[in-house]
């Protein structure tokens, strides 16, 4: 995989280099009050109402160069969508080769079923996308110290990208975060603190200490650029399906960055003329013992009240309250999608089925999407002829506890 930063320096004038096209980032827009803000100020949430800010682009300008032909010729990776990515000067891009993950047919699970396999991303999960975008943009805006509350994979990714950017990284994780996530952070040189509590307790600590310590808080959707990285999953899906989006996307939802990011991506793709108005149904999966979005969806609420006593072994789904709850719920409803919760046992069974039938060792969060799909086929919500994408958001290799060994041992 070429390093976009190096290849940019090597061939700055090449017509196929994505870096010969500028970012058309124009401003930040509040998703709640509609307020418009300067994109070159270091902002987190909306200064007026405290809700989520989105990066906006001059899409008419982007349309001139962001063509199917041009995209196909560019070096692979999520930064090739340059015109609708937020970094202005390509030398600020911090990349480990994230994006352009495979879209695998899963015909032994279902006739028109696909798995978007994010476990191959650097640091083993799709968090690499969001963190690459956020760290790159933070570097461009002068940040040198970053902090994150994380269920595990976001901290791993921030530790790696932060190391590569020469930043100081402070990670706060629940004490029962998978061991490998903790070790990754340590090996990348991050300062790790374990918290006897949930990710929301970690977030409260970061929030309290960030200002005094001079940390930039990279919490999911509390700054505008992680969503820009994760939206590239939607951009890639469009291209991988030859610019005709699938019928449904099943997404394991924690903070919801991916689901709202992809929804944003589809609107941008339509505005630049790469796709039509057809959208997939966006289906959100959560774990039975931490399902705030599912509960709010079923009750017809616009916001999701925090979930009490959240617990699940699918650590990325252990998010009792999401700052973008209203955006996740809007996305599900606008798309004609649904939300459902699956049990720990269903996740366990699904993880083994995906591995043994398709050769993919999915993270439990990714496996939850197959558990959900089985239910949705059974109750007729999904039909076999529909093209359905499951998101395997990370590698199962970080969750060895899901596999019980009972092996025969023989003498030679
Ligand atoms: C963080 C995470 C999720 C949840 O992602 P969001 O976009 O925040 O909803 C799902 N799966 C894995 C493996 C994760 O690390
Ligand atoms: Zn606002």
The whole-angstrom separation of Cα 320 and Cα 316 is 11
Residue 119 forms part of a structural domain: yes
Instruction: Report pLDDT digits (tens) over 54-76.
Output: 999 999 999 999 999 999 999 99
Instruction: Report pLDDT digits (tens) over 193-219.
Output: 999 998 889 999 999 999 999 999 999
The whole-angstrom separation of Cα 216 and Cα 135 is 10
Confidence at residue 6, expressed as pLDDT on a 0 to 100 scale? 43
Residue 372 forms part of a structural domain: yes
- In terms of domains, do 28 and 108 share one? no
Q: Atom 1, ligand 1: which residue's CA is nearest?
A: 316
Instruction: Using pLDDT thresholds of 50, 70 and 90, give the confidence band for residue 21.
Output: confident
- 74 close to ligand 1 (CB < 6 Angstrom): no
Q: Total structural domains in the chain?
A: 3
What pTM did the predictor assign?
A: 0.94
- 312 close to ligand 1 (CB < 6 Angstrom): no
Q: Atom 4, ligand 1: which residue's CA is nearest?
A: 254
Of 11-25, 304-318, 370-384, the least confident = 11-25
What mean pLDDT is predicted for residues 91-108?
A: 98
- In terms of domains, do 260 and 147 share one? no
Q: Is the dihedral of CA 7, 13, 17, 19 positive or negative?
A: positive
Residue 146 alpha carbon to ligand 1 centre in Å: 20
Q: Is the dihedral of CA 78, 79, 85, 87 positive or negative?
A: positive
Q: What is the 3-state secondary structure (H, E, C) of 130-187?
A: HHHHHHHHHHHCCCCEEEEECCCHHHHHHHHHHHHHCCEEEEEEECCCCHHHHHHHHH
Q: What is the percent of the chain with per-residue pLDDT over 70, rounded to a whole number?
A: 95
In angstroms, how far is the first alpha carbon of the chain from the final one?
42
What mean pLDDT is predicted for residues 75-89?
A: 97
What mean pLDDT is predicted for residues 89-94?
A: 97
- In terms of domains, do 288 and 384 share one? yes
What's the whole-number average pLDDT of the chain?
95
Confidence at residue 12, expressed as pLDDT on a 0 to 100 scale? 41
Examine the fold and report which residue of 68, 92, 116 is the final residue of a domain before the chain moves on: 92
Task: Specify the ligand 1 atom closest to the Cα of 254.
Answer: 9
The whole-angstrom separation of Cα 412 and Cα 396 is 31
- 153 close to ligand 1 (CB < 6 Angstrom): yes
Instruction: Using pLDDT thresholds of 50, 70 and 90, give the confidence band for residue 18.
Output: low
Residue 35 forms part of a structural domain: yes
Q: Atom 5, ligand 1: which residue's CA is nearest?
A: 254
Residue 7 forms part of a structural domain: no
pLDDT at 307 over 70: yes
Examine the fold and report which residue of 171, 189, 217 is the final residue of a domain before the chain moves on: 217
Q: What is the percent of the chain with per-residue pLDDT over 90, rounded to a whole number?
A: 93
Confidence at residue 4, expressed as pLDDT on a 0 to 100 scale? 45
Containing domain of residue 342, as a range? 103-125+225-398
Task: Specify the ligand 1 atom closest to the Cα of 258.
Answer: 7
Which CATH number is 292's domain given? 3.40.50.1100
Give the single-character DSSP code of 343. Answer: -
């Amino acid at each position: 995989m070429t390093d976009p930063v190096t290849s940019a320096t090597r061939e700055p004038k090449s017509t196929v280099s994505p870096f010969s096209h500028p970012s058309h980032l124009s401003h930040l827009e509040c998703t709640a009050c509609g307020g418009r803000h300067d994109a070159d100020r270091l902002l987190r949430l909306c200064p007026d109402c405290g809700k989520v800010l989105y990066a906006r682009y001059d899409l008419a300008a982007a349309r001139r160069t962001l063509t199917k032909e041009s995209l196909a010729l560019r070096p692979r990776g999520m930064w090739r969508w340059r015109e609708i990515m937020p970094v202005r000067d390509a030398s600020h891009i911090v990349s480990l080769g994230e994006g352009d993950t495979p879209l695998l047919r899963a015909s032994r699970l279902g006739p028109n079923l696909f798995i978007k396999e994010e476990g191959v991303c650097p640091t083993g999960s799709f968090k690499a996308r969001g963190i690459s975008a956020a760290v790159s943009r933070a570097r461009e805006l002068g940040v040198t110290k970053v902090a994150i509350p994380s269920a595990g994979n976001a901290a791993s990714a921030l530790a790696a990208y932060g190391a590569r950017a020469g930043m100081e990284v402070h990670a706060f994780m629940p004490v029962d975060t998978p061991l490998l996530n903790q070790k990754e952070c340590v090996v990348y040189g991050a300062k790790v603190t374990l918290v006897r509590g949930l990710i929301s307790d970690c977030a409260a600590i970061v929030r309290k200490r960030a200002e005094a310590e001079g940390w930039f808080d990279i919490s999911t959707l509390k700054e505008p650029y992680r969503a820009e990285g994760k939206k590239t999953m939607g951009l890639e899906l469009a291209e991988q399906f030859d610019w005709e989006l699938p019928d449904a996307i099943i997404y394991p939802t924690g903070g919801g960055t991916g689901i709202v990011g992809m929804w944003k991506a589809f609107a941008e793709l339509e505005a630049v003329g790469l796709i039509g108005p057809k959208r997939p149904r966006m289906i959100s999966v959560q774990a039975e013992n931490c399902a705030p979005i599912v509960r709010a969806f079923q009750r017809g609420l616009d916001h999701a009240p925090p979930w009490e006593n959240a617990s699940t072994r699918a650590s990325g789904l252990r998010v009792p309250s999401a700052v973008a709850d209203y955006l996740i719920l809007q996305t599900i409803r606008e798309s004609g999608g649904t939300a459902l919760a699956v049990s720990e046992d269903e996740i366990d069974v699904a993880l083994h089925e995906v591995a043994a039938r398709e050769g993919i060792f999915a993270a439990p969060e990714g496996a939850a999407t197959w558990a959900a799909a089985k239910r949705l086929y059974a109750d007729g919500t999904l039909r076999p002829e529909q093209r359905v994408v499951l998101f395997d958001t990370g590698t199962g290799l970080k969750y060895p506890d899901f596999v019980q060994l009972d092996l025969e041992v023989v003498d030679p």
